[in-house]
Chains A and B, each alone.
Chain A
């Protein structure tokens, strides 16, 4: 890499940031509209299900663990993948067993 790439502050970066920000803002509105319609009865499964979704960082972990030119990055990536997988797998399973109980409880 040459010196020219040392600090990237190009318009490209700014444009990408605004694109990401657009996604963030739109997702926030969609999330608000849907989540406010969820009844109190289902707040625990909602929380646990949303929690499982937050394990989406697993993707970030996978990318970083995969790009490990450095041992340290690989170690960090490995730990991150383990943590995020626990969150995802455990989260969905717990939510599922909770929701099954709601269904058998005569949820109609």
Chain B
């Protein structure tokens, strides 16, 4: 069957060039919240153009099958996007990410199948197909495990065991050896019409590797993992571009790879950890023991009530709210936003202090607060907000722990030593809303809770904040 729209190769390449430009322009528009929605549309337009022209130009054997696949994919993607809660965004992004990687691995496999049928092996193609297979499979399975951990279907604590690195090394070695065989002696097993066993050995080994890489990583490191897997999915796409000799795949895939890598580096810097540290050990291993915790907290904890908090807020002129993962879990963002608005109406200067790794993906808190209509100008990042704490009357910490732990500044060792934190303890009064004194993901006790100017408001973030809002309304 002939293509619907047979284009000369040069024309096709020109359309791909336009699509690449649209992707780049779309990213450029992402540099400001005002232009970002337009950027997303431009990028989507580039995608529609690139896919559309490819569909129409390709000599499709079974158009029905192809359109069926597009329809099924659109239905699933549209349904997932329409039904997702903002708090579930990290796992959804992880899931989509995995699908991108998985598709790359399958395409490389299908391309190899065709090549072996024809009995013609281009070294460049077998090599890049092997790479796409490894990266794509690791991305798919790694993302599935990450999404499972974020969604709570897989235990999200760090799972460590003896000989961990050796086991991972073995699977990587198997995948690489299968890849080398594919490149150096493609016809080692004679003709293989439609079935290339060594590729699937490679995919299987890389799949296990993907699971093994993410299983040991604890919840606190998820922003790094999500960013890194995002980068991988881009590299898988770019590698597929090398396999198929397709320019737009290379450009788009590389842009994604760069974005993921940059976010990964930013996340690592925000935690003062190296990438190797995230992957080969670290958080979860050297948490404080129970005795140490009792020493710090014993007799030093002051509890408070929403009525008392309201009274404190009543005389405050400047209030900073510090949200953490606990706010996301409790879905307390709307109540928090309402509190901020009430304070604002009563001429209190309110700002939000956002730690870069608060939450489960880069910028997670910003999305939640944007959902609750908190004005963009009220959000301050770590560098901006830290110098202002000494002139702040009240800081309300909601469901955050490690990102406000002052021992990060003083400890010489341990999982959070040297991590840049929000120095909330410098404010006149600190209110910490938390369900219990349990440590955060780092397992390190927080001396902030025992500080003289800290009052603990125990309870679920949503209930506590809603109650606080009600009490505040009654008195104003």
Q: Measuring CB to CB, which residues of chain A are less than 8 angstroms from any residue of chain B?
A: 1, 5-9, 13-14, 16-17, 20, 23-24, 27-28, 30-32, 34-74, 76-108
Contacts and interface: CB of A to CB of B under 8 A. Distances in A.
B234 A54 contact: yes
Given A43-B366, A83-B103, A94-B89, A50 B69 contact: no
B354 interface: yes
Interface string B233-264: 11011101111111111111111111110110
Question: What does DSSP make chain A's interface, helix, strand, loop or mixed?
Answer: helix
A87 B103 CA distance: 9
Interface of B: 20, 23-24, 26-28, 30-34, 36-37, 39-41, 43-44, 47, 50-51, 54-55, 58-62, 65-66, 68-70, 72-74, 76-78, 80-82, 84, 86, 89, 92-93, 96-97, 99-104, 106-107, 109-111, 113-114, 117-124, 193-195, 226-227, 230, 233-234, 236-238, 240-260, 262-263, 266, 354, 356, 361-364, 366-367, 369-371, 373-377, 379, 381
Question: What does DSSP make chain B's interface, helix, strand, loop or mixed?
Answer: helix
Contacts of A90: 76-78, 80-81, 92, 96
Closest 8 CB pairs between A and B?
A85-B73, A90-B77, A31-B258, A43-B363, A89-B77, A107-B33, A93-B81, A106-B375
30 contacts: A7-B123, A13-B124, A23-B250, A31-B258, A35-B27, A36-B262, A41-B379, A42-B363, A45-B40, A46-B27, A47-B260, A47-B361, A50-B234, A55-B99, A59-B54, A60-B111, A60-B246, A61-B103, A65-B66, A67-B114, A70-B194, A73-B111, A80-B106, A86-B77, A86-B80, A89-B81, A91-B81, A95-B40, A101-B370, A105-B373
Given A31-B259, A60-B249, 7 more contacts: A43-B362, A49-B26, A52-B96, A62-B58, A76-B106, A83-B99, A89-B81
A83 B93 CA distance: 14
Contacts of B107: 57, 60-61, 64, 76-77, 80
Given A58-B51, A78-B65, A98 B370 contact: yes
